[in-house]
Structure 1
Amino acid sequence: MNMQRKFMQSTDALIREALHKKILQHQHNCPQTIVLDELGLAHGKNRIDIAVINGDIHGYEIKSSKDNLSRFISQLDQYRKSLQKLTIVAAPNHIDEILNVSPDWCGVIKVEIGPRGGVKFKTIRRPSKNPSVDMVELAHLLWKKEAIELLQEYGMKSNLNNKNRKALYEEIANHAKMEELVAWIKNKFSKRETWRAV
């Protein structure tokens, strides 16, 4: 009998379940924190696997052993614009490349699957604040009516309904501070009864 056992290949679903239970348990238990799977960025052009929204918008991107990194550079570019913090949770076969191409502020967690299916996480690099957030891209997380409501809070009243979303987001970037925009996004996310934009 061959006693050697190979480590199991990881899958997105296996890593995601363990990430929610082990790494994000405190966030799930905090009533002031919102945890979302598959948050669309730039109106769905890209998605982040898990988003944690409290004082910051922190994205977790999963790269299992079965994934490839062919789209990773383009994903990173969107994450740099849209997220205040980013952590890549990756299988061992991806760690070196991720460390080579990701910015220093990006956190990296290595995930290994044991022979019995146990999931083990090891922090390789802790995340810090992203210095390159684009306020217009961040504002894309708001639906049009939510963007209009925010601008009305800043005293803008005229012709807002006639502006397209891009123009509204640019106005928000001109008027709001980042912490104000993030607080508004969190407030609106908590009140959404459906996640299908009208």
Structure 2
Amino acid sequence: MESRDIEIRQHFHKKRLQHFHDCPNTIVIDELGLAHGKNRADIAVLNGTFHCFEIKSSKDTIVRLPEQLSEYSKCFEKISVISAPNHIHKIINILPDWCGLIVATKGTKGAVAFKTIRRPKKNPQLEITAMAHFLWRREIIELLTVLGVEKKYLSQSREKLYKLIPPTLTAQELTQWIKAKFMGRKDWRSASLQMLCDD
């Protein structure tokens, strides 16, 4: 059965992400912009780690997948691809061995079932500076202030501010900071809940 992105997305929210939606300390975001909007992650889940889910329906192509994976690997701690069966054999040859893979099969009545082919592992290519791009300017300034960066350096461009992050900051620490800031963006949670309930 042919599938569309919206069908896979809605069923995945209900069947695999419901417990994350129910958790007050977890954020689920659809179409999260990366690198200030140059790319978008289909679904991002932020709790103890930052996990990206990329959807490839039967009607999609996978031409851009290598480029997308390259961008995602800079700023997500885990990455999983959710794919219709017709792409699986090609995708499994493209994915790094640390990326997860989930097959999404649409039934005759329209429901989509999910089967995990491979669970994601920790991303070894994560770049702290790229990950920090999720923060708005005022948020990165606040982070740098907490980290002890002098005020005289905080009037620089956003790109230069990201480079002031000390190398001692761990991905886990930055994830918790990003999560704390995202928790204040209530409209993102509302949009995700609307997607979850929209039939």
Residue 72 in structure 1 maps to residue 78 in structure 2: no
Aligned position for 2:27: 34
Match of 1:25 among 18, 21, 24: 18
Aligned pair count reads: 188
In the TM superposition, what whole-angstrom CA distance separates every residue of 1:133-181 from its partner, at most 9, and x where no partner exists?
A: 0111100000111000000001223234421111111112535221111
Match of 2:142 among 146, 149, 152: 149
**RMSD between superposed Cα atoms in Å:** 1.3
Structure 1 residues 76 and 183, CA gap change in structure 2 (3 angstroms) = same
- Letter matched to residue 94 of structure 1: H
Residue 113 in structure 1 maps to residue 106 in structure 2: yes
Question: Which one has more relative contact order, counting CA pairs under 8 Å at least 6 apart?
Answer: 2
Q: Is the 8 A contact 2:58 2:86 kept in 1?
A: yes
1:1-198 matched pairs, under 5 angstroms: 8-192=1-185
Show structure 1 runs of 4+ deviating over 3 A. none
CA shift, 1:44, in A, is 1.0
Unpaired stretches in structure 2, ≥5 consecutive residues = 189-199
- Letter matched to residue 93 of structure 1: N
Structure-1-length-normalised TM-score: 0.91
Structure 2: distance between partners of 1:34 and 1:157: 32
CA shift, 1:88, in A, is 0.3
CA shift, 1:192, in A, is 2.5
Structure-2-length-normalised TM-score: 0.90
